[in-house]
Amino acid sequence: MPLMPGAEPMRHEGSDIGVLLCHGFTGSPQSLRPWARYLADQGLTVSLPLLPGHGSRWEDLQVTGWQDWYATVDRELRLLSESCARVFVCGLSMGGALALRLAARHGAAVSGIVVVNPASTFPRAAGYALPVLRHLVPTSSGLTDDIAKEGSHELGYDRVPLHAAHSLRSFFRVVRGELPQVTQPLMVLRSRSDHVVPATDSALILSRVSSTEVTETVLERSYHVATLDFDAERIFEDSHMFISRIAARETARDRA
């Protein structure tokens, strides 16, 4: 199935510091491409994969599940680890949950985590209905384009396939159970006004991880897709400083 123009994955070979970026549910690499390009321009090695079922049509997402999405980023992390001395994982929304699970499961292979408006729960009422509703109704309305900046657009589906949504709900449950295994330095950037993911999701993550080095930043001018919004440059710059600082510290420790 042909991809939407702009939904293509991205890979850039740079230094021995690698960054894996994970996009969100029903979205595509387009939402993170400016971030990926910024990090590539700083000389880092960058991987921005397209998750299975995304970037084409919603019917393709309907036949995938969280195991498929996670397997893709897990494979990309392993590939980066083969060529990079340090690897950082980043994500937006569901991509933040993917990044956190990678950190929980791969331990020291992940040097640090940066998540933007990370999702970790599913709306309670919708979650109760999904097991039955997904067999009766194929889709619900889409989740894209929660952006304050006029003229900025997120490329994604205008429908949410409910079988995939049900799998997403299961994935969040898995991730919540693994959060105590996250020990790496963590940067959380969340929007003050987010119409997709509540602030309590970030609070839950921060309360359960075992990381001792945590930075939380509130983005005052952006909505959910902050990587395409008014605070995008701050996200790019802050994440690069975070990655550079952690990488330099680990390098100095190894030399010592």
Measured in whole angstroms, the distance separating CA 138 from the mean position of its chain's CA atoms is 25
**What is the rounded distance in angstroms from the CA atom of residue 256 to the CA atom of residue 251?**
9
Question: Residue 207 corresponds to which tokens in the numbers above?
Answer: 């309360």
* Alpha-carbon separation of residue 239 from 101, 114, 139, 217 (angstroms): 19, 7, 35, 11
- The set of catalytic residues is 93, 194, 224
Rg (CA), the chain: 17
- Distance, in Å, from the CA atom of 134 to the CA atom of 165, rounded to the nearest integer, reads 9
User: What does each C-alpha distance from 221 to 165, 170, 173, 228, 234 come to in angstroms?
Assistant: 28, 32, 30, 12, 11
CA separation, residue 191 to residues 104, 121, 179, 240 (Å): 24, 17, 21, 19
Say if strands 17-22 and 186-191 run parallel, antiparallel, or are unpaired.
unpaired
